[in-house]
Copies of this chain bind each other. A is one copy, B any other.
């Protein structure tokens, strides 16, 4: 599920087209590690297809997000960061000092999600846990010296 062919056929099924630009962006979302923002994806995409425009990147990201293939996260910054959707929800920790983002899997995330869903009787489309603070190395005391 959520392999590139699966995404392509899902897009086709909803009347969208598989264009060379979309393929480039789709590939990059797989290849770039971490949580690239629109600008990063744009710059990388231009290396492959110099004629791609920033708005195409934004439009493609919006499409993939609407279809549920990628997630957009606000990692304490004013712009969005993107990553391919995964089965297990996980925590994004962002260090306020060095800026690194650490992903944390923890079974409580899914348990919490399930409980919230049941409590609200809602249809959950997104579930994001964000933690901000100072990482082991950057925290005032207790880190390595």
Given contacts A91-B112, A108-B108, contact A127 B119 (CB under 8 A): no
Number of copies: 2
CA distance A136 to B135 in the complex (A): 38
Q: Point out the residues of chain B lying under 8 angstroms from A116, CB to CB.
A: 91, 93, 104, 106, 131
Per the 8 Å Cβ criterion, residues 103-125 of A in contact with B are 104, 106, 108-109, 111-113, 115-117, 119-125
Residue of B nearest to A128 (CB): B130
**Contact across chains for A132 and B125 when beta carbons are under 8 A apart:** yes
Q: Point out the residues of chain B lying under 8 angstroms from A111, CB to CB.
A: 108
Q: Is A142 an interface residue (CB 8 A)?
A: yes
Given contacts A111-B108, A112-B106, contact A126 B131 (CB under 8 A): yes
Interface of A is mostly: mixed
Interface size on A, residues (CB 8 A): 38
**Contact across chains for B133 and A124 when beta carbons are under 8 A apart:** yes
Given contacts A130-B128, A131-B113, contact A121 B106 (CB under 8 A): no
Per-residue B-contact encoding for A67-96, CB less than 8 Å = 1, 0 else: 000000010100000000000000101011
**Contact across chains for A108 and B102 when beta carbons are under 8 A apart:** no
A93 to chain B, nearest CB (A): 6
In the complex, the 6 A-B pairs of residues with the closest C-beta atoms, listed nearest first = A126-B132, A124-B133, A123-B139, A74-B74, A108-B112, A123-B134
A-B contact pairs, 6 of them (CB 8 A): A93-B120, A108-B108, A113-B131, A120-B135, A120-B136, A126-B132
